[in-house]
Amino acid sequence: MVDDVEVAYCDSNNQTAESKQDWMKKIIEDTKPNDFIAECLTSQRFVNETIDMLMQLFNHGGGVHTLQSIGGCDWDNETGHINGFLQLGYDGEDFMSFNPQTETWIVQKQQAVTIIQEINVDKAMTKYLLTQECPDFLKKSVNYGRNSLMRTDFPSVSLLQKTPSSPVSCLATGFYPDRAEIFWRKDGEELHENVEPGEILPNHDGSFQMNVDLNLSSVTPEDWRRYECVFHLSGVKDDIITKLDKAVIRTNWGTLTNVTIPITASVVVVAVILIAAVVGFMFIKRKKAPDNISEVTELNSEACAQRETCGAMKD
């Protein structure tokens, strides 16, 4: 993944590395396709061997169990700051992580000590992969995919309400990149009460959406004009501001006007790449190093439900 965009995947059944973006296909062709395939096979072996050991250590005789490996690097193209990260979890719980700065494994479960001894991963090589090879590949990806990755797409912003007594939801959809925020404010001041912000979610076309709800149960009709929804895209100077107005709310009991406000500006890009390293770790997309495996378990569960695949099954 590069900036939350799927660029390639490993097909372990056919033993191939397939590109999902034209520019990524060019990278594979200009590099060594066999290297990508080798990484796929190495990752598959690592997953199979590790989950076998984990099931033995936890006395799991069978059933479905999940090994999660989250790793990669992020790079700020303005400051040059690079951060590498690697974490592993088993059945949705933190298991162990690697600190590339100190070249040490951090153990969250006692069984991880045995795993670390068994897999015997070269710490210096792991650090090199996370802090040198990964950023180098990221920079190449940004160079090849500049037109796609460096673009700025502005959203359409709508006010939605299910019923007359429901909160009013301010929805921004179609924006890129995914570094954005949306909030309600009253008389120019951001609100922190009677609001419920949502998460940034991906759209099918590679763009993103997010929303924030405003509870109007204690707001008089006369005070509506004091409220407005603000959408801010990182690196963009001008915000998209939508006044709270009944005339523009889209409802389930009547079709009103959809508010679409286009603007132009520039954006600063902080690119992130997640790759599968030659040591055999399967990398899952993350914009930055998560605090723990459990933070992504819910999202991974949703992805598994959509793809109908996850984890590994042992009879």
Domains of the chain: 8-149+269-314 (3.30.500.10), 156-251 (2.60.40.10)
pLDDT tens readout for residues 263-277: 333 333 333 333 333
Residue 267: the pLDDT is 35
pLDDT tens readout for residues 154-192: 999 999 999 999 999 999 999 999 999 999 999 999 999
Burial class of 59 by CB neighbour count within 10 A (0 to 12, 13 to 18, 19+): exposed
Mean per-residue pLDDT, 220-233: 96
**Alpha-carbon span 214 to 129, nearest angstrom:** 45
**Alpha-carbon span 172 to 211, nearest angstrom:** 6
Query: What is the DSSP pairing of strand 180-186 with strand 189-190?
Result: antiparallel
pTM over the 0.85 mark: no
Burial 63-82 (b: 16+ CB within 10 A, else e): eebbbbbbbbbbbeeeeeeb
pLDDT tens readout for residues 184-222: 999 999 999 999 999 999 998 889 999 999 999 999 999
pLDDT tens readout for residues 133-142: 999 989 999 8
Q: Report residue 148's pLDDT band, with 50, 70 and 90 as the boundaries.
A: confident
pLDDT tens readout for residues 61-107: 778 888 888 889 988 888 889 999 999 999 989 999 999 999 999 99
pLDDT tens readout for residues 108-118: 998 889 888 88
